Amino acid sequence: MSDFINSFWPIYISVISAAGVFGCLLLLILTARKKVESAEDNTTGHVWDGDLRELNNPMPRWWMWLFVSTVVFATFYLIAYPGMGSYSGQLGWSQVGAYEKEVERAEAELAPLYASYNSMSAEEMSKDSAAMAIGANLFQNNCAQCHSSDARGGKSFPNLTDNDWLWGGNPEQIHATITNGRMGVMPPQAEAIGTPDDVRNLANYVLSLSGSPHDSAKASMGKDKFLVCSACHGPDGKGNQALGAPNLTDDIWLHGWGESLVIDMINNGKTNIMPPQAKENGGKLTPEQVNVLTAYVWSLSNKPNSAN
């Protein structure tokens, strides 16, 4: 990737752009000066189909001026707008700036609409069909890429329609998750557990907590090793939402289940990151949009929406 962000490419683009403009101008000058000798009847001597002769007339003057105008326009365009490598143009225009202005204009137009929901709780908004329609659009534009369009997630991406929450599922906790993002980290535990057999025994014990298929004998031998895991997942394996530690007893497996996958998790650990979505933290959503989106996400795992 570093090959595409060094100083060579801006220079290369500048040379190509300038060469294209001046090359057209040079071509125009050279062809205008070139005189083609013609016969007395003003033809080039080329004949097709017996009697179809090519005349040696000059190009129409309007066409020549049109050609010149394109060269002049291109020159002024490259001075005013970015088109010469890293040169930003005299007018200071950029795609990013244009996009940000459009976003600001849209937010200003929608501000009164979002303001009407500021005094409503998540439960009240969940019963408002208009608020939920807005929330659904926000979800599709900002959340569906990871949690899928139906909010049921996938491997390593949480299902938002059930009641299994890593960091808590009340409106305040959901609001904090959307605003600040989350980082869930499970460090590798193989060295703390012991031998590969110890890890395998522990994996079977973890599977036994949720009634998943497991080897009972190995699970029995792995029970004592769970002490290492209980610091985060709790002595009963029910997890800890303050740490984002999953509940191991509910048979909901974010990263997949089975002996081999649990062993891999114990050996290698896992880091899962949800980036912050609030504009104040580098995301795209205003505080008002976060409030509406919070209510929508909360509604997915609570009572069905009822229209006003």
At 10-58, the pLDDT tens digits run: 888 888 888 988 898 888 888 777 666 656 777 777 788 888 888 777 7
Confidence check: pLDDT of 104 > 50: yes
Quote the Cα angle for 70-88-17, to 5°: 40
Mean pLDDT, range 287-302, rounded to an integer: 96
- Note the pLDDT tens digit of each residue in 214-249: 999 999 999 999 999 999 999 999 999 999 999 999
Residue with structure tokens 């996938």?
Answer: 154
pLDDT at residue 305 greater than cutoff 80: no
CB neighbours of residue 215 within 10 Å: 17
CA angle 231-233-238, nearest 5°?
140
Distance CA 263, CA 205 (A): 11
Q: Output the average pLDDT for the chain.
A: 90
- Whole-number pLDDT of residue 149: 95
The three state secondary structure string of the chain is CHHHCCCHHHHHHHHHHHHHHHHHHHHHHHHHHCCCCCCCCCEEEEEECCCEEEECCCCCHHHHHHHHHHHHHHHHHHHHCCCCCCCCCCCCCCHHHHHHHHHHHHHHHHHHHHHCCCCCCHHHHHCCHHHHHHHHHHHHHHCHHHHCCCCCCECCECCCCCCCCCCCCCHHHHHHHHHHCEEEEECCCHHHHCCHHHHHHHHHHHHHHCCCCCCHHHHHHHCHHHHHHHHHHCCCCCCECCCCECCCCCCCCCCCCCHHHHHHHHHHCEEEEECCCEHHHCCCECHHHHHHHHHHHHHHCCCCCCCC
- Amino acid 39 reads A
* 308 pLDDT more than 60: no
Report whether pLDDT(193) > 60: yes
Q: Taking 70 as the threshold, does the pLDDT of residue 3 lie above it? A: no
Contact present, 298 and 290 (Cβ < 8 Å): no
Would you state the pLDDT for residue 46? 79
